[in-house]
Structure 1
Amino acid sequence: MTVPNTPPDPADAAPADAVPAPNAARDPYALPPGPDLVNGKPRPAEPVAQRLLPELRIGAATVLACLVLGVVMGALWAWLAPKVPLVVDGNKILYGDPEGEQRAGADSVFVLIGLGMGIVTALGAFLVTRKRGGGIAVAVGLAVGGLLASVGAWGLGRWLGPGRDLVAEARRVGNGGHFQADIDLGAYGAVLAWPMAAMVLLLALSAAFGKREEDPPPYWVPGPPAADAGAPAPGPAPAAPAPAPVEDRREG
């Protein structure tokens, strides 16, 4: 006979060292039970050089692509930049257009080409590395590569443009002859147009269309059950025993 509301027998309680069921819910934020073992020994840490190698490859490829486009930029600048006309008057070299703004126009053309190259390189780098989530190597590669390419385009354009030896050119054309002065940058800050445009566009594209990481579930949502490795699949849960009948004692 069982009396109602009787506390359970301590002998029937589960022992303290009982192993929980394998399908019991576990905290998704709990630490693993032990280190990852390989053949009974802790797994060795991955070398730093091996982890940095993919990033270095991406950064180097970005810089190389910028340098190749820098050659194109130098050729375009030498072709499109306005030239300063000069005229030989006896033993003097005079401006053919004293009020012209060809020097400022050369700076403007260089900046516009640099902005275009920055947009092209940033868009290409973003599309190529979007699946892997970009990375600091892409940004550093664009900044360093854009700056080096701009400086290289500056030097290449001066080399491809008109000669820098004005006296030799004046002697070649003779008295009353016309020739063009070399192209050069009056504002050295123009070499920053490419890297600045690339960095701004890359930041905007990453913020708007970059890869998103899934947020972890709230702490109150239990995670999926984690089955132990090598443990047999849990079978169906046993049916709960039927409650024992309670005898009703009534005084006759």
Structure 2
Amino acid sequence: MTAPLTPPPPPHDHSAQGSWQPPAGASGAPAPGSQHAEYAEHTGLGWYGQDDGPGMKTELREAGLVALAVALGGVLLGVLWWWLAPHVPLVGDVTDGNWVVYLKDTEGEQAVGVDGTFTLLGLGFGLVSALVVFLLRRRGGVPLVVGLAVGGLLGSLLAWRVGVWLGPAQDVVAHAREMGRGVTFSAPLKLGAKGALLAWPLSALVVHLGLTALFGPRDPEPEFGHGAYPPKPAG
């Protein structure tokens, strides 16, 4: 006598149990009051690490305002450069009926001091502008850093032109005729080392990145489980 055949067991249904379900909510966000929701609220990140911070348009608008404000500071830099830079003494003379202008002190280092004054002022303005931007916008961001660097470069260019405009006349021969033969007068402001224009933006970048690395906001560690992902449901 043979044993009756028994039907095979039904296949395991994975649709109802054993499959991981996302937290409740139409948008995939964690349920309010849950442990995952508290973590997302604490870190400022939405579900799946979505950032709830300002959008790209807002960051670009802030970067544009920073660049404009920093660039306008070039007016003050130009005034300070004109005021603090050493004067290069010139003297005019007449040779064969033609006016000729000479350096009064051929071994003087006033011209080097003019470039050095601009460079030191640029470094100082870069430090101050980076500190102010960091205090106003600690979160930072790539557009903000780019706006700070662009504003520093534009400010340096503006300061250069303002200083030249405020300084002595550019036509040294006409100035020598006006002053008279053998009378000492100051040469126009001239930036011999154009690399000094980069002192402001480079200083601003270095200082801002340093402040962000030392005192910028930190992402808190996850408070659930041993990792950054929610625990797997039992089933």
Question: TM-score normalised to the size of structure 1?
Answer: 0.68
Matched, 1:125 2:130: no
Give the letter aligned to residue 107 of structure 1: D
Aligned length: 191
- Hey, which bits of structure 1, 4+ residues long, moved more than 3 A? 15-20, 30-35, 217-224
> Structure 1 or 2: larger helix share?
2
Q: Distance in 2 between matches of 1:158 and 1:179?
A: 16
2:62 paired residue number: 58
- More displaced 10-residue stretch of structure 1: 105-114 or 137-146: 137-146
Q: Does 1:137 align with 2:128?
A: no
2:6 is matched with which residue?
Answer: none
1:106 aligns with 2:114: yes
Which stretch shows the higher mean deviation, 162-171 or 211-220?
Answer: 211-220
> Could you list the per-position Cα deviations for residues 4-25 of structure 1 after superposition, in whole angstroms to 9, with x for gaps in the alignment?
xxxxxxxxxxx988789xxxxx
Once the two structures are superposed, residues 20-68 of structure 1 have per-residue CA deviations (whole angstroms, 9 ceiling, x without a partner) of 9xxxxxx8xx74567529xxxxxxxxxxxx9322111210111111112
Cα distance in 2 between the residues matched to 1:140 and 1:69: 17
- Whether the 8 Å contact between 2:92 and 2:100 is mirrored in structure 1 is yes
Contact 2:168–2:188 (8 Å) recurs in 1? yes
The alpha carbon displacement at 1:219 in A equals: 4.5
Q: Say if 2:224 and 2:230, in contact at 8 Å, map to a contact too.
A: no
What is residue 81 of structure 1 aligned with on the other side?
85
Q: From 154, 160, 168, give the equivalent of 1:162.
A: 168
1:197 is matched with which residue?
Answer: 203
The gaps in structure 1 that reach 5 residues or longer are 1-14, 21-26, 38-49, 225-252
The match for 2:218 is 212
Secondary structure at the aligned position of 1:167 is classed as helix
RMSD of aligned Cα (Å): 3.0
Residue of structure 1 in register with 2:158 after alignment: 152
1:164-193 deviation per Cα after TM superposition (whole angstroms, max 9, x unaligned): 101110110111222111111111110010
**Structure-2 residue corresponding to 1:36:** 27
Deviations 1:201-247 (A, max 9, x none): 111101110001112246447969xxxxxxxxxxxxxxxxxxxxxxx
Partner residue of 2:40?
none
CA distance in 2, matches of 1:60, 1:124: 16
Residues in 2 aligned to 1:177 and 1:86: alpha-carbon distance in whole angstroms: 8
Tell me the distance in 1 between the aligned counterparts of 2:66 and 2:15: 58
Task: Report percent identity of matched pairs.
Answer: 47
Bigger radius of gyration, 1 or 2? 1
Residue correspondence of structure 1 range 6-21 to structure 2 within 5 A:
none
Question: Bigger relative contact order, structure 1 or 2, given CA contacts below 8 A and separation 6+?
Answer: 1
Return the TM-score normalized by structure 2: 0.72
Shift of 1:128: 0.4
CA distance in 1, matches of 2:168, 2:14: 91
